[in-house]
């Protein structure tokens, strides 16, 4: 989650359910639009009364009592193209025509036509309910990440809760991965992947909720596989994992815990609870079937999700999973700090660690 939950009012368990309206969209989901598609309408209803706010999660989103949602963050769109700072080239491509869902692709501009690059499939954070690959924060992050790592990257858009509650985001993300895999024979719809992708070196990555997505896709890959691609590694930055019982210092701030508890029920209302394996991988009996060879967990010392990432690392280290897990502990780092301050020393170090992980076996 990119949401700072300490800033959000808590959801109450006794609240009446909402019907979220889809009829009025700012625009279609085409990435050529100047505005990201989120539910919006005039602040005046038909009878000219001011609509009432049910939940105000400023500066992130507001939910009105009539069911409309107003996203206040992460809705900006920046165009794809050549980034002069990093010399990384990007463009948009539809991965699901049926759902009109797109991804943003990145590659170094001066790539040798005959050179194959590792493939990085990236899932953005935002608590499953805000953000987009096409806004400035994530576009800038992917430009920097591709420049440092020398990869071809696919930054995936997925549908957001609460209009599209989980597990929809998991399904969209899997659809995107299958679209990537459709290029293994060099005859897929996207020429960059046909020409430059090394499907023997595929990595999944994400931050916060996106890290949760990357983990779950690695689990699904371990059970279903995708013909022709080798899931070499997974990179989880400040992963959004949680659980019913507090771990360590989580029990010292029950107010924050109750808000994080509520957010999960908000984005996944059909969940079995906080020990659902979707949010708590530590209780997943299938965890040892994680479908990658290597995994990097990055945690922050001042991140309220830190303990979950650390215990996830320990569980993989000592359990029956046959891969190799590494950890990077940024002791002074807050949740997704690198997106807010990408040029600071620790953010640069984070990118270099990811690049080193991806290129570990190269001279």
Contacts 24+ apart (CB under 8 A), 221-227: 221/177, 221/291, 221/292, 222/286, 222/289, 222/290, 222/291, 222/292, 223/286, 223/289, 223/291, 225/291, 226/177, 226/178, 226/181, 227/181, 227/184
Cα 89 → chain centroid:
21
CA distance 247 to 14: 26
Cα 32 → chain centroid:
21
| Catalytic residue check, 303 | yes
| Catalytic residue check, 335 | yes
DSSP secondary structure code for residue 164 in this structure: S
CA distance 273 to 259: 14
List 83, 149, 208, 238, catalytic entry: 208
List 173, 303, 333, 338, catalytic entry: 303
| Catalytic residue check, 182 | no
CA distance 137 to 130: 12
Q: Which residues are catalytic?
A: 208, 303, 335
């Amino acid at each position: 989650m990119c949401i700072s939950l300490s800033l959000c009012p808590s959801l109450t368990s006794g609240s009446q359910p909402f019907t979220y309206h889809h009829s009025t969209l700012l625009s279609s989901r085409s990435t050529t639009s100047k505005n990201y598609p989120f539910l919006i309408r005039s602040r005046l209803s038909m009878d000219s009364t001011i609509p009432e706010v049910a939940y105000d999660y400023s500066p992130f989103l507001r939910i009105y009592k009539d069911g409309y949602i107003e996203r206040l963050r992460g809705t900006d769109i920046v165009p794809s193209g050549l980034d002069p700072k990093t010399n990384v080239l990007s463009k948009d491509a539809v991965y699901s025509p049926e759902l009109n869902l797109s991804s943003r692709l990145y590659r170094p501009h001066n790539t040798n036509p005959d050179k194959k690059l590792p493939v990085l499939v990236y899932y953005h954070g935002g608590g499953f309910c805000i953000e987009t690959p096409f806004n400035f924060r994530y576009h800038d992050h992917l430009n920097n990440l591709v420049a440092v790592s020398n990869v071809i990257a696919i930054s995936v858009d997925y549908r957001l809760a609460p209009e599209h509650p989980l597990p929809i985001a998991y399904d969209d993300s899997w659809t995107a991965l299958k679209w990537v895999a459709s290029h293994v024979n060099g005859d897929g719809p996207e020429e960059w992947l046909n020409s430059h992708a090394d499907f023997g070196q595929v990595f999944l990555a994400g931050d916060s909720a996106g890290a949760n997505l990357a983990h779950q896709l690695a689990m699904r890959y371990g059970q279903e596989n995708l013909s022709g691609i080798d899931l070499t590694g997974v990179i989880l930055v400040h992963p959004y994992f949680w659980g019913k019982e507090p771990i360590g210092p989580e029990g010292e701030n029950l107010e924050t815990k109750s808000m994080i508890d509520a957010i999960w029920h908000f984005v996944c209302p059909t969940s079995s609870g906080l020990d659902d394996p979707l949010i708590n991988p530590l209780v997943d009996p299938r965890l040892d079937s994680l479908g990658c060879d290597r995994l990097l967990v990055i945690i922050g010392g001042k991140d309220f999700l830190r303990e979950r990432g650390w215990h996830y690392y320990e569980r993989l280290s000592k359990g029956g999973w046959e891969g190799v897990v590494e950890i990077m502990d940024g002791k002074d780092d807050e949740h997704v700090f690198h997106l807010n301050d990408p040029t600071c020393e620790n953010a640069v170090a984070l990118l270099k660690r990811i690049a080193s992980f991806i290129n570990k076996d190269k001279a």
